[in-house]
Amino acid sequence: MEKKKIGNLSQREQFVKELTDRVKDDLKKYFLDRDYGVVVLTKEDALRALIVRTTNLCEIARLRHKLSPMATAVLGRALTGAILLTSLLKHGTQQRVLLRIEGDGPIGLVVAEANAKGEVRGFVQNPNVPTFVKEENGRRKFDIGKAVGRGVLTVVKDLGFGTPYESSVPLVSGEIAQDIAYYLLKSEQIPSAVSIGVLVGETGKVEAAGGFIAQPLPGASEKAVEKLEENVKKMPPISSLIKEGKRPEEISELLFEGFTVELLALKELSFKCKCSKEIARGGLLAMPAEELKELIKEGGASIKCNFCGEEYFFTKEELEEILNEKEKGEN
């Protein structure tokens, strides 16, 4: 009896192993072209990181908002940055984080919002901002800081209860990744390494985008933190790694070279807005009656969602119905 059980067990083990390998293969295929992130921990020491690939969602943002190459580079960084900030949220909940960058540069206001489910949306005030370049180590790069300018970075965390928590820091570089690291240190007391890269091709298309955030957890040794800093310094730019086809879990091996990496969670990422015609209708309903009457006179209205560029059309008849509802409600 005992013997047979052991025999069955090994058969079962073999089956489970095959199944695990097949699931791994399926996951690899599923995430071949999709955006996703991995949360990793080091086995030996308390270091944690979130590494993300955001190429598709940055490209979708570019197309939706008809962004210039410079605006694509800035919004792509902000969207990726907001996703990295979701590491402050509870995985898989309705919690969300909003990143707002108000600088005096030509791009104007930059806003990105991400939730714990991996959905992100955002916009820039000036989608046509021209290209600024600078040279760094002999390479021509977008001068993100010049487009953004000097100003303030604000993070609003909505944890799903009470008033959202809001905190601001002055922009230290306008390069976004450094500014997020500064925010985490000053406002959250979390020393972090943050890196974000968006590679925009000749035609303006996003060729590769992604980022990582790495932090020591309480109890991490000084030696481990030093090793992490050393690894971060010698890593090639993250956008180049992604362009080469490196996956987030492979990038985690470079980030935590010298440690044993454990994958803790996997999250699919997408550009997604929660707007709808119903929400746009609510906006019209809140308008002064005089303005609604103007729109009716014009024969219809188109309401554009700032966050995703989606347009909602309302016919004259629909507007009249909204006006009726408004007047009924006010009596």
Q: Closest separation between CB of residue 310 and Zn ion, Å?
A: 5
Question: Which of 49-57, 171-179, 211-219, 302-310 is the region at the interface with Zn ion (rule: CB under 5 A)?
Answer: 302-310
Smallest separation (angstroms) from Zn ion to the CB of 304: 9
Residue 314 token pair? 């309302």
**Binding to Zn ion by residue 308, rule CB under 5 A?**
yes
Q: Are 280 and 300 in contact (CB under 8 A)?
A: no
Shortest Cβ distance from residue 56 to Zn ion (Å)?
A: 18
Contacting residues for 325 by C-beta, under 8 A, at least 6 apart: 285
Selected range binding Zn ion among 2-10, 238-246, 304-312, 318-326, rule: CB under 5 A? 304-312
Element (H, E) at 253: helix 248-255
Residues 132-161 that bind Zn ion (CB under 5 A): none
Q: Which is nearer to Zn ion, 74 or 275 (CB)?
A: 275
Cβ proximity to Zn ion: between 67 and 305 the closer is 305
Question: Residue 279 Cβ, how far from Zn ion at the closest point, in Å?
Answer: 8
108 in Cβ contact with 124 (< 8 Å):
yes
> Scanning residues 40 to 99, which ones bind Zn ion (CB under 5 A)?
none
CB of residue 231 to Zn ion, shortest distance in Å: 39
Side chain identity at residue 148, one-letter code: V
Nearest to 174 by CA among 67, 102, 82, 69: 102
Q: Return the residue of 47, 273, 284, 292 that touches Zn ion, per CB under 5 A.
A: 273
The DSSP H or E segment spanning 60 is helix 55-65
Q: Which residue, 250 or 310, is less far from Zn ion as judged by CB? A: 310
Q: Determine which residue in the list 249, 253, 257, 310 makes contact with Zn ion, applying CB under 5 A.
A: 310
- Residues binding Zn ion: what is the number (CB under 5 A)? 6
Least distance between Zn ion and beta carbon 142 (Å): 26
Amino acid in the structure at residue 278? E
Q: Which of 95, 98, 53, 57 is nearest to 76 (CA)?
A: 57
Nearer to Zn ion, 275 or 284 (CB): 275
Among 275, 295, 319, 323, indicate the residue that binds Zn ion (CB under 5 A). 275
Residue 64: CB minimum distance to Zn ion, A: 9
Q: Say how far apart CA 195 and CA 254 lie, in whole Å.
A: 13
Residue whose CB is less far from Zn ion, 240 or 302: 302
Interface residue with Zn ion among 110, 254, 305, 322 (CB under 5 A) is 305
Instruction: Choose one: 132-140, 244-252, 272-280, 293-301; the region binding Zn ion (CB under 5 A).
Output: 272-280
Give the start-end residues of each E strand in the chain. 36-42, 47-53, 96-103, 109-115, 119-124, 133-136, 139-142, 151-158, 165-170, 193-200, 206-216, 261-268, 270-271, 300-304, 311-315
Distance separating alpha carbons of residues 202 and 34, to the nearest angstrom: 23
- The contact set with Zn ion (CB under 5 A) reads 273, 275, 305, 307-308, 310
